[in-house]
Amino acid sequence: METADFLDLFISEAREHIEGQAALLARAGSSSLEREEINDLFRHAHSVKGMAAAMGFASMSALAHAMEDLLHQWRDGVFGSTPGSIELLTRANDLLSAQVDALVAHQEIPSGDEIGRQIRSLCSPSEDRPQAAAGAAAAPHGTDEPAAEAVDTRPRLLVDIAIRQGAPLPGARAMVILKRLEEHGQVLEVSPAPQILAAGKFNGRLRVVLASRIAPDRVATLAGGLADVAACQVTPAAPPEDQGGDPERRVAARRTLPDRQDEETGESTARAEAITTIRVPTERMDHLLDGIGELILDRERLKRALEADPGSEAAEILEGLGRTVDALKDEVMTIRLLPFSSIVPRLERAVRELASRLGKEVELVVRGTEVSLDRSTLEEMMDPLQHILRNCIDHGLEGSEERRGAGKSARGRIEIDLSRRDERVCLAVSDDGRGMDPEALRRVAVERRYLSREIAMRLSDEEALMLVTIPGFSTATRTTDISGRGVGMDVVRMRVQKLGGHLIIRSQTGNGTRLEMDLPPTVTVTRAFLCRAEGGIYAVPVSAVQATFEVRRDIVQASQGERVLRRGDDLVTVLPLGGVLAGDRAAPFPDAFPALQYQVGKRTYALGVDEILGEELIVVKPLRHPLELLPQYAGAAILNDGEIALIVDPVNLTRTSRQP
């Protein structure tokens, strides 16, 4: 079972408990709490503790646990609440709330240790659960009355049971075992005493004297088959009449020794809880991934240095090393993945708030929430997604009157779809609002002198729609506090590009808008073509390239201000990589050159380079400010000889070179 599936439910239910607790604490103020209120508070804390533990959020669970313990003592009347302690619980509850917020934002969960300690210092140092321990002591098979059972004449068996190390609640486990044994005979003697079992000080070794007619090996089989029993030994004990001497003393002696031992080892036993989940700061994961990146580079370098013959031992070892490193990389990449569902509650909340602020009825449908993305990608996409939702609700979706007039349902609909396409993730946000008009966008672009009339007319509809991603460009006529003048779409495009993705806008006037973003699930290590162009070395990700081929200049023709060639059925627009990067799209080509073919929307392009040096695994390093603002570059890579190559994103390169 994936606990991640329950994250949404966890977050919403934890919030309910935290809010419930906040309300009770606020009502209490400086006056003392009613018993029923303390009960409610206790239950809230208890629920949060259990849920957080189930999700592996240890810090949250520990803090709720401390709160629970204090409330428990109030409830039992060990001592009452004071204004100071209510204030402390309020702060603790606020911290729980902050922890949930951090969880939602994928930030590091703030520690509750300090406030937990303060709460614990208020708790009475006496036994944790006095009344329950007393109840257990009154259990029917207490060791205090073996004499009364001495009339039992069945053979006596000494049952010696070791409970599995790390079994949860070993004392309670021992109690279950005792109950089972009672079904097969009379329990005459137990070590350690049930009080020890209930107090969490049990070391895992249970000894029982059982009066039973069942054969010892059969009892051993029965007991050995019980949950958490690691080992079980059953030996016939001397019958009662043969015990001679002083049976009371014998029992006492047997009981005393292990009890003392229990107290010594009790602490470590209690701590031996099964830990199945750990939380690690993202930074650590980044370091780990960086290390693996270096390892990959070293492997490539080693391969080159050794020049091992195929079939030689060195080649074999290198191959094994390669497989191990790849597996390691995949493992780390997978650990970094989070399902999209983890940010859905935040999106839902954003939609709810915006819709109510703007007085619109909006329904949000999210599909494909199980698709996972790198944690940092998901984090980076949060802002752009909120921008997009804002635009949908503020500009895209009409008011209910207008919608009815257009024959639509009064309630607007926003859909978020996630799907996996090859190695990439496609994230689409669509609304059924009024849509955008490419013609109007062309007109505005010309009016505001962003484009000349000729260029504007040459833009395809798809390209015209992309005009809204120019900073400051918008067709919105109203200014609101929600999306300003359409500010945001430029930010959206930049962010998507920075992540190595692309943004496509589709829209039909009157029928809504659809924004499609394709994102790499992870970005850090990738395969790339290393190319030389204008003296520099550039890397082009293999995933972006459809084919490589040789071009002779005489097959390149001029067409509508571009240079094109025919390849099969495709008309391919050829761009010189070095020229485009230098701002000269029309730079001359040599007589013959290699080219990398790729697709932008429906058009096919090829990047002409001086030389393709080869295909290599590269580790992508993000560019530092202000270079990150250049969309044509997806990052930088350090090559085997220590040189740095800029990583070219051909799609963004093509688009930026066309923009005025």
Q: Is 366 exposed, middle or buried (0-12, 13-18, 19+ CB in 10 A)?
A: middle
SS3 520: coil
Binds another protein (CB under 8 A): choice among 112, 192, 194, 293: 194
Residue 188 and residue 156 in contact, taking contact as beta carbons nearer than 8 Å: yes
Nearest one of 121, 134, 128 to 73, comparing CA atoms? 128
Q: Does 510 bind another protein (CB under 8 A)?
A: no
Binds another protein (CB under 8 A): choice among 33, 51, 63, 67: 51
Q: Does 265 bind another protein (CB under 8 A)?
A: no
Q: Does 139 bind another protein (CB under 8 A)?
A: yes
Binds another protein (CB under 8 A): choice among 179, 279, 323, 552: 179
Q: Where are the alpha helices (DSSP H) in 56-82?
A: 58-75
CB nearer to another protein: pick between 167 and 577: 167
Tell me the one-letter amino acid at 650: P
Torsion of CA 334, 340, 345, 350, to 10 degrees: 130
CB nearer to another protein: pick between 74 and 598: 74
DSSP state of 555: G
Q: Does 135 bind another protein (CB under 8 A)?
A: yes
Q: Does 46 bind another protein (CB under 8 A)?
A: yes
Q: Does 212 bind another protein (CB under 8 A)?
A: yes
Tell me the one-letter amino acid at 154: R
Q: How far is the CB of 41 from another protein (least distance, A)?
A: 12
SS3 135: helix
Binds another protein (CB under 8 A): choice among 4, 53, 487, 630: 53
Residue 99 and residue 110 in contact, taking contact as beta carbons nearer than 8 Å: yes
Q: Does 128 bind another protein (CB under 8 A)?
A: yes
CA distance 476 to 362: 20
Beta pairing class for 592-600 and 562-567 = unpaired
Strand partners, 364: 414
CB nearer to another protein: pick between 169 and 613: 169
Q: Which of residues 365-424 bind another protein (CB under 8 A)?
A: none
Q: Does 132 bind another protein (CB under 8 A)?
A: yes
Q: Please give the full DSSP string across 318-336, using - where no structure is assigned.
A: HHHHHHHHHHHHHHHHHHT
Q: Does 65 bind another protein (CB under 8 A)?
A: yes
Q: Does 43 bind another protein (CB under 8 A)?
A: yes
CB nearer to another protein: pick between 199 and 519: 199
Direct distance between the N- and C-terminal alpha carbons of the chain, in angstroms, rounded to an integer: 53
CA distance 610 to 534: 7
Binds another protein (CB under 8 A): choice among 176, 288, 308, 491: 176
Encoding tokens for residue 296?
């990959």
Q: How far is the CB of 119 from another protein (least distance, A)?
A: 15
CB nearer to another protein: pick between 135 and 510: 135
DSSP state of 632: T
CA distance 363 to 353: 12
Backbone angles phi, psi at 604, to 5 degrees: -105, 135
CB nearer to another protein: pick between 6 and 589: 6
Encoding tokens for residue 450?
């962003």
Q: Does 225 bind another protein (CB under 8 A)?
A: yes
Binds another protein (CB under 8 A): choice among 23, 26, 54, 253: 54
Q: How far is the CB of 198 from another protein (least distance, A)?
A: 4
CB nearer to another protein: pick between 200 and 521: 200
Stretch that binds another protein, among 52-60, 112-120, 442-450, 551-559 (CB under 8 A): 52-60
Residue 388 and residue 351 in contact, taking contact as beta carbons nearer than 8 Å: no
Q: How far is the CB of 61 from another protein (least distance, A)?
A: 8
Q: Three-state SS across 45-58?
A: HHHHHHHHHHHCCH
Stretch that binds another protein, among 6-14, 323-331, 341-349, 446-454 (CB under 8 A): 6-14
CB nearer to another protein: pick between 168 and 484: 168
Q: Does 144 bind another protein (CB under 8 A)?
A: no
Stretch that binds another protein, among 167-175, 300-308, 472-480, 637-645 (CB under 8 A): 167-175
Binding footprint of another protein, residue count (CB under 8 A): 55
Nearest one of 146, 192, 141 to 170, comparing CA atoms? 192
Q: Does 183 bind another protein (CB under 8 A)?
A: yes
Q: How far is the CB of 81 from another protein (least distance, A)?
A: 19
Stretch that binds another protein, among 166-174, 344-352, 583-591, 638-646 (CB under 8 A): 166-174
Encoding tokens for residue 22?
């906040």
CB nearer to another protein: pick between 63 and 175: 175
CA distance 254 to 631: 78
Q: Does 457 bind another protein (CB under 8 A)?
A: no
Q: Which residue has the tokens 């849509």?
A: 435
Q: How far is the CB of 108 from another protein (least distance, A)?
A: 21
Q: Does 172 bind another protein (CB under 8 A)?
A: yes
Length of the chain: 660
Q: Does 159 bind another protein (CB under 8 A)?
A: no
CB nearer to another protein: pick between 213 and 602: 213
CA distance 231 to 225: 9
Q: How far is the CB of 170 from another protein (least distance, A)?
A: 8
Q: Does 47 bind another protein (CB under 8 A)?
A: yes
Stretch that binds another protein, among 35-43, 88-96, 336-344, 457-465 (CB under 8 A): 35-43
**Helix and strand tally (H, E) in the chain?**
21, 22
Three-point CA angle 255, 260, 262, nearest 5°? 95
Nearest one of 611, 609, 590, 601 to 658, comparing CA atoms? 601
CB nearer to another protein: pick between 76 and 628: 76
Q: Does 259 bind another protein (CB under 8 A)?
A: no
CA distance 401 to 409: 10
Nearest one of 150, 167, 248 to 205, comparing CA atoms? 167
CA distance 497 to 494: 5
Encoding tokens for residue 366?
């999210």
Q: Does 570 bind another protein (CB under 8 A)?
A: no
Q: How far is the CB of 183 from another protein (least distance, A)?
A: 5
CB nearer to another protein: pick between 59 and 474: 59
> Kind and range of the H or E element at 618?
strand 611-621
Residues of this chain that bind another protein (CB under 8 A): 1, 3, 5-6, 9-10, 13, 39-40, 42-43, 46-47, 49-51, 53-56, 65, 128-129, 132-133, 135-136, 139-140, 168-169, 171-172, 175-176, 179-180, 183-185, 194, 197-200, 212-214, 222, 225-227, 273, 276-277
